[in-house]
Amino acid sequence: MIKNIAIVGGDLRIVKLAEMLRKEDYQVKTYALEKATQIQDTKVDTLEECVKDADIVLGPLPLSTNEQLINAPFSEEKVQIDELINQIAGKTFIAGSVKQEVYEMAEDKDITIFDILKREELAVLNAISTAEGAIQIAINETPKNLHGNNVLVLGFGRIGKILSKMLDGIGAKVACEARKTTDLAWIKAYGYEPINLIELKENLNRFDIIINTIPYTLLNREMLQEVKKDALIIDLASNPGGVDKQAVKELEIKFNWALSLPGKVSPVTSAEFMKETLLNMFKEINNE
Protein backbone atom coordinates (compact mmCIF):
# COMPACT_ATOMS: atom_id res chain seq x y z
CA MET A 1 0.00 0.00 0.00
CA ILE A 2 1.19 3.47 -0.87
CA LYS A 3 1.36 5.58 2.26
CA ASN A 4 4.42 7.82 2.21
CA ILE A 5 4.75 10.37 -0.55
CA ALA A 6 7.78 12.53 -1.22
CA ILE A 7 7.16 15.64 -3.28
CA VAL A 8 10.16 17.43 -4.78
CA GLY A 9 9.66 20.79 -6.48
CA GLY A 10 6.67 21.80 -8.58
CA ASP A 11 4.33 24.74 -9.13
CA LEU A 12 1.04 25.93 -7.56
CA ARG A 13 -0.80 22.84 -8.77
CA ILE A 14 1.69 20.63 -6.93
CA VAL A 15 1.19 22.72 -3.79
CA LYS A 16 -2.58 22.28 -4.02
CA LEU A 17 -2.03 18.61 -4.73
CA ALA A 18 0.16 18.26 -1.63
CA GLU A 19 -2.63 19.79 0.45
CA MET A 20 -5.19 17.41 -1.03
CA LEU A 21 -3.04 14.32 -0.52
CA ARG A 22 -2.43 15.27 3.11
CA LYS A 23 -6.18 15.60 3.60
CA GLU A 24 -6.62 12.09 2.27
CA ASP A 25 -4.28 10.88 5.02
CA TYR A 26 -1.15 10.27 3.03
CA GLN A 27 2.14 10.98 4.81
CA VAL A 28 3.54 13.80 2.74
CA LYS A 29 7.09 15.15 2.89
CA THR A 30 8.13 18.03 0.66
CA TYR A 31 11.44 19.40 -0.49
CA ALA A 32 12.16 22.41 -2.74
CA LEU A 33 8.70 23.80 -1.95
CA GLU A 34 9.70 25.81 1.14
CA LYS A 35 7.95 29.02 0.02
CA ALA A 36 4.53 27.40 -0.10
CA THR A 37 3.24 28.48 3.30
CA GLN A 38 0.17 26.23 3.17
CA ILE A 39 2.31 23.11 3.44
CA GLN A 40 5.05 24.27 5.83
CA ASP A 41 4.47 21.34 8.14
CA THR A 42 5.38 18.86 5.38
CA LYS A 43 8.74 20.49 4.72
CA VAL A 44 11.95 18.61 5.38
CA ASP A 45 15.50 19.91 5.22
CA THR A 46 17.22 17.64 2.77
CA LEU A 47 16.36 15.81 -0.38
CA GLU A 48 17.63 12.62 1.21
CA GLU A 49 15.30 12.92 4.18
CA CYS A 50 12.39 13.72 1.86
CA VAL A 51 12.68 10.61 -0.26
CA LYS A 52 14.19 8.00 2.03
CA ASP A 53 10.96 6.35 3.32
CA ALA A 54 8.84 7.30 0.36
CA ASP A 55 6.68 4.71 -1.42
CA ILE A 56 6.29 7.17 -4.26
CA VAL A 57 8.37 10.18 -5.28
CA LEU A 58 6.43 12.90 -7.04
CA GLY A 59 8.23 15.47 -9.19
CA PRO A 60 7.18 18.60 -11.11
CA LEU A 61 5.06 18.87 -14.25
CA PRO A 62 7.00 19.44 -16.39
CA LEU A 63 9.94 17.85 -14.61
CA SER A 64 12.33 20.47 -15.94
CA THR A 65 12.41 23.41 -18.30
CA ASN A 66 16.15 23.40 -18.91
CA GLU A 67 17.04 19.69 -18.85
CA GLN A 68 19.32 20.21 -15.83
CA LEU A 69 17.44 21.52 -12.83
CA ILE A 70 14.04 20.36 -11.73
CA ASN A 71 11.29 22.90 -11.99
CA ALA A 72 10.87 24.47 -8.53
CA PRO A 73 9.27 27.94 -8.58
CA PHE A 74 8.42 27.70 -4.86
CA SER A 75 12.02 27.22 -3.82
CA GLU A 76 15.49 28.75 -3.64
CA GLU A 77 17.04 25.31 -3.94
CA LYS A 78 18.64 24.20 -7.16
CA VAL A 79 17.97 20.47 -7.49
CA GLN A 80 19.82 18.74 -10.30
CA ILE A 81 17.86 16.07 -12.14
CA ASP A 82 20.71 13.58 -11.82
CA GLU A 83 21.04 14.31 -8.12
CA LEU A 84 17.37 13.46 -7.69
CA ILE A 85 17.63 10.32 -9.77
CA ASN A 86 20.61 9.16 -7.71
CA GLN A 87 18.68 9.58 -4.49
CA ILE A 88 15.66 7.53 -5.53
CA ALA A 89 17.19 4.26 -6.65
CA GLY A 90 14.71 1.38 -6.41
CA LYS A 91 11.70 3.68 -6.08
CA THR A 92 8.68 4.65 -8.17
CA PHE A 93 8.91 8.16 -9.61
CA ILE A 94 5.98 10.12 -11.07
CA ALA A 95 6.45 13.45 -12.90
CA GLY A 96 5.33 15.20 -16.08
CA SER A 97 6.95 15.50 -19.52
CA VAL A 98 9.84 13.27 -18.59
CA LYS A 99 12.46 13.32 -21.33
CA GLN A 100 14.18 10.26 -22.81
CA GLU A 101 17.50 11.16 -21.15
CA VAL A 102 15.94 10.92 -17.71
CA TYR A 103 14.65 7.44 -18.46
CA GLU A 104 18.20 6.57 -19.53
CA MET A 105 19.74 8.03 -16.37
CA ALA A 106 17.34 5.90 -14.33
CA GLU A 107 17.96 2.73 -16.26
CA ASP A 108 20.41 0.90 -14.07
CA LYS A 109 18.98 2.24 -10.80
CA ASP A 110 15.81 0.13 -10.73
CA ILE A 111 13.62 3.22 -10.80
CA THR A 112 10.12 2.89 -12.26
CA ILE A 113 9.13 6.16 -13.95
CA PHE A 114 5.57 7.15 -14.87
CA ASP A 115 4.78 10.29 -16.85
CA ILE A 116 1.45 11.56 -15.51
CA LEU A 117 0.96 13.84 -18.53
CA LYS A 118 0.79 10.75 -20.74
CA ARG A 119 -2.26 9.44 -18.84
CA GLU A 120 -5.26 9.62 -21.13
CA GLU A 121 -7.80 10.16 -18.34
CA LEU A 122 -5.93 13.31 -17.32
CA ALA A 123 -6.00 14.54 -20.92
CA VAL A 124 -9.79 14.01 -21.01
CA LEU A 125 -10.31 15.83 -17.72
CA ASN A 126 -8.06 18.70 -18.77
CA ALA A 127 -10.12 19.02 -21.94
CA ILE A 128 -13.06 20.02 -19.71
CA SER A 129 -11.07 22.97 -18.40
CA THR A 130 -9.82 23.91 -21.85
CA ALA A 131 -13.37 23.90 -23.23
CA GLU A 132 -14.61 26.09 -20.40
CA GLY A 133 -11.78 28.53 -20.93
CA ALA A 134 -12.58 28.69 -24.65
CA ILE A 135 -16.20 29.51 -23.84
CA GLN A 136 -15.13 32.31 -21.55
CA ILE A 137 -12.96 33.78 -24.32
CA ALA A 138 -15.76 33.43 -26.85
CA ILE A 139 -18.25 35.29 -24.65
CA ASN A 140 -15.70 37.90 -23.73
CA GLU A 141 -14.36 38.74 -27.18
CA THR A 142 -17.53 38.95 -29.25
CA PRO A 143 -20.28 41.58 -29.18
CA LYS A 144 -22.84 38.83 -29.78
CA ASN A 145 -24.24 36.09 -27.60
CA LEU A 146 -23.03 32.52 -28.01
CA HIS A 147 -26.71 31.58 -27.59
CA GLY A 148 -28.35 31.40 -30.98
CA ASN A 149 -25.08 32.01 -32.77
CA ASN A 150 -23.29 29.81 -35.33
CA VAL A 151 -20.13 28.30 -33.90
CA LEU A 152 -17.78 25.98 -35.76
CA VAL A 153 -15.49 23.58 -33.93
CA LEU A 154 -12.61 22.21 -36.00
CA GLY A 155 -11.76 18.66 -34.95
CA PHE A 156 -13.73 16.13 -32.92
CA GLY A 157 -11.12 14.78 -30.56
CA ARG A 158 -11.14 15.20 -26.80
CA ILE A 159 -11.48 18.96 -26.73
CA GLY A 160 -13.78 19.07 -29.75
CA LYS A 161 -16.22 16.64 -28.13
CA ILE A 162 -16.44 18.39 -24.77
CA LEU A 163 -16.41 21.90 -26.20
CA SER A 164 -19.24 21.07 -28.62
CA LYS A 165 -21.32 19.69 -25.78
CA MET A 166 -20.80 22.83 -23.69
CA LEU A 167 -21.48 25.21 -26.59
CA ASP A 168 -24.66 23.30 -27.37
CA GLY A 169 -25.57 23.40 -23.69
CA ILE A 170 -25.26 27.17 -23.62
CA GLY A 171 -27.51 27.45 -26.67
CA ALA A 172 -25.11 27.95 -29.60
CA LYS A 173 -25.80 26.36 -32.98
CA VAL A 174 -22.84 24.04 -33.20
CA ALA A 175 -21.19 22.62 -36.30
CA CYS A 176 -18.15 20.34 -36.13
CA GLU A 177 -15.65 19.65 -38.83
CA ALA A 178 -14.10 16.20 -39.14
CA ARG A 179 -12.38 14.15 -41.77
CA LYS A 180 -13.41 10.61 -40.90
CA THR A 181 -16.88 9.26 -41.71
CA THR A 182 -17.05 7.70 -38.25
CA ASP A 183 -16.43 11.04 -36.57
CA LEU A 184 -19.04 12.65 -38.81
CA ALA A 185 -21.52 9.98 -37.71
CA TRP A 186 -20.72 10.73 -34.07
CA ILE A 187 -21.18 14.45 -34.66
CA LYS A 188 -24.61 13.72 -36.08
CA ALA A 189 -25.41 11.36 -33.22
CA TYR A 190 -24.58 14.08 -30.71
CA GLY A 191 -26.88 16.47 -32.53
CA TYR A 192 -24.39 18.90 -34.05
CA GLU A 193 -24.09 19.75 -37.73
CA PRO A 194 -21.39 17.59 -39.31
CA ILE A 195 -19.10 19.31 -41.81
CA ASN A 196 -16.83 17.13 -43.86
CA LEU A 197 -13.30 18.51 -44.25
CA ILE A 198 -13.72 18.50 -48.01
CA GLU A 199 -16.70 20.83 -47.71
CA LEU A 200 -15.14 23.07 -45.07
CA LYS A 201 -14.00 25.88 -47.31
CA GLU A 202 -17.41 26.66 -48.77
CA ASN A 203 -18.99 26.59 -45.31
CA LEU A 204 -16.58 28.83 -43.42
CA ASN A 205 -18.39 32.08 -44.12
CA ARG A 206 -21.46 31.00 -42.14
CA PHE A 207 -19.74 31.16 -38.77
CA ASP A 208 -19.32 33.96 -36.26
CA ILE A 209 -16.97 31.99 -34.08
CA ILE A 210 -14.50 29.32 -35.21
CA ILE A 211 -12.59 27.30 -32.64
CA ASN A 212 -9.72 25.11 -33.77
CA THR A 213 -8.57 22.05 -31.83
CA ILE A 214 -6.40 20.40 -34.52
CA PRO A 215 -2.59 20.67 -34.24
CA TYR A 216 -2.14 21.21 -37.98
CA THR A 217 -2.46 24.40 -40.04
CA LEU A 218 -5.93 23.79 -41.37
CA LEU A 219 -6.83 27.47 -41.48
CA ASN A 220 -4.26 28.57 -44.02
CA ARG A 221 -4.51 31.79 -46.01
CA GLU A 222 -6.82 30.29 -48.62
CA MET A 223 -9.24 29.11 -45.96
CA LEU A 224 -8.98 32.31 -43.91
CA GLN A 225 -10.04 34.34 -46.94
CA GLU A 226 -13.44 32.66 -46.68
CA VAL A 227 -13.95 33.61 -43.02
CA LYS A 228 -16.37 36.44 -42.14
CA LYS A 229 -14.57 39.70 -41.51
CA ASP A 230 -16.13 40.14 -38.07
CA ALA A 231 -15.70 36.52 -36.99
CA LEU A 232 -13.59 35.46 -34.01
CA ILE A 233 -11.09 32.62 -34.37
CA ILE A 234 -9.85 30.87 -31.24
CA ASP A 235 -6.97 28.43 -31.62
CA LEU A 236 -6.61 25.84 -28.87
CA ALA A 237 -3.96 23.78 -30.63
CA SER A 238 -0.47 23.89 -29.20
CA ASN A 239 2.55 24.95 -31.23
CA PRO A 240 2.52 25.49 -34.22
CA GLY A 241 -1.26 25.81 -33.84
CA GLY A 242 -3.85 25.40 -36.57
CA VAL A 243 -4.02 28.92 -37.97
CA ASP A 244 -1.68 30.80 -40.31
CA LYS A 245 -0.70 33.55 -37.87
CA GLN A 246 0.65 35.88 -40.54
CA ALA A 247 -2.44 35.60 -42.75
CA VAL A 248 -4.92 36.01 -39.93
CA LYS A 249 -3.17 39.23 -38.98
CA GLU A 250 -3.08 40.60 -42.50
CA LEU A 251 -6.72 39.74 -43.07
CA GLU A 252 -7.54 41.57 -39.81
CA ILE A 253 -9.60 38.73 -38.41
CA LYS A 254 -10.01 38.76 -34.65
CA PHE A 255 -7.78 35.97 -33.36
CA ASN A 256 -6.93 34.46 -29.98
CA TRP A 257 -4.32 31.76 -29.60
CA ALA A 258 -5.27 30.34 -26.25
CA LEU A 259 -2.69 27.96 -24.81
CA SER A 260 -2.46 26.10 -21.50
CA LEU A 261 -5.98 27.09 -20.48
CA PRO A 262 -6.47 24.53 -17.65
CA GLY A 263 -3.73 26.00 -15.48
CA LYS A 264 -4.89 29.54 -16.18
CA VAL A 265 -8.66 29.13 -15.99
CA SER A 266 -8.98 26.61 -13.18
CA PRO A 267 -5.80 25.78 -11.29
CA VAL A 268 -7.73 24.27 -8.36
CA THR A 269 -9.75 21.94 -10.57
CA SER A 270 -6.54 21.08 -12.42
CA ALA A 271 -4.96 19.99 -9.16
CA GLU A 272 -8.05 17.91 -8.38
CA PHE A 273 -7.84 16.21 -11.76
CA MET A 274 -4.16 15.49 -11.12
CA LYS A 275 -5.01 14.01 -7.75
CA GLU A 276 -7.67 11.75 -9.26
CA THR A 277 -5.22 10.57 -11.88
CA LEU A 278 -2.54 10.02 -9.27
CA LEU A 279 -4.91 7.91 -7.16
CA ASN A 280 -5.70 5.83 -10.26
CA MET A 281 -1.97 5.34 -10.75
CA PHE A 282 -1.51 4.36 -7.10
CA LYS A 283 -4.24 1.71 -7.45
CA GLU A 284 -2.57 0.28 -10.52
CA ILE A 285 0.82 0.26 -8.81
CA ASN A 286 -0.69 -1.48 -5.78
CA ASN A 287 -2.28 -4.14 -7.96
CA GLU A 288 0.93 -5.06 -9.71
Using rule CB under 8 A, residue 268 touches a copy of itself: yes
Helix (H, G, I), strand (E, B) or coil at 61: coil
Nearer to a copy of itself, 5 or 178 (CB): 178
Residue 284, classified by CB atoms within 10 Å of its CB into exposed (0-12), middle (13-18) or buried (19+), is exposed
Using rule CB under 8 A, residue 193 touches a copy of itself: no
Beta bridge partners of 212: 154, 235
How many CB atoms neighbour CB 219 within 10 A? 26
User: What is d(CA 106, CA 90) in angstroms, rounded to the nearest whole number?
Assistant: 9
Which of 129, 164, 212, 213 lies at the binding interface for a copy of itself (CB under 8 A)? 129
Using rule CB under 8 A, residue 37 touches a copy of itself: no
Nearer to a copy of itself, 191 or 240 (CB): 191
Helix (H, G, I), strand (E, B) or coil at 40: helix
User: What is d(CA 71, CA 82) in angstroms, rounded to the nearest whole number?
Assistant: 13
Which of 29, 91, 119, 275 lies at the binding interface for a copy of itself (CB under 8 A)? 119
Nearer to a copy of itself, 128 or 210 (CB): 128
Helix (H, G, I), strand (E, B) or coil at 213: coil
Nearer to a copy of itself, 91 or 119 (CB): 119
Return the residues of window 132-191 that contact a copy of itself according to CB under 8 A. Answer: 132-133, 135-136, 139-140, 142-149, 161-162, 165-166, 168-171, 181-182, 184-186, 188-191
R_g of the chain computed on alpha carbons: 22
User: What is d(CA 211, CA 204) in angstroms, rounded to the nearest whole number?
Assistant: 12
Using rule CB under 8 A, residue 202 touches a copy of itself: no
Q: Measure the N-to-C terminal CA separation of the chain; round to a whole number of Å.
A: 11
Using rule CB under 8 A, residue 127 touches a copy of itself: yes
Using rule CB under 8 A, residue 259 touches a copy of itself: no
Using rule CB under 8 A, residue 121 touches a copy of itself: yes
Q: Cβ of residue 20: shortest distance to a copy of itself, in angstroms?
A: 13
Q: Cβ of residue 146: shortest distance to a copy of itself, in angstroms?
A: 6
Q: What φ, ψ does residue 225 adopt, rounded to 5°?
A: -65, -20
Nearer to a copy of itself, 171 or 240 (CB): 171
User: What is d(CA 154, CA 132) in angstroms, rounded to the nearest whole number?
Assistant: 16
Judge contact between 178 and 156, C-beta under 8 A. Answer: yes
| Cα separation values, 65 from 61, 69, 72, 73, 81, Å | 10, 8, 10, 11, 11
Chain residues that interact with a copy of itself, rule: CB under 8 A: 119-122, 124-125, 127-129, 131-133, 135-136, 139-140, 142-149, 161-162, 165-166, 168-171, 181-182, 184-186, 188-191, 265-269, 277, 280
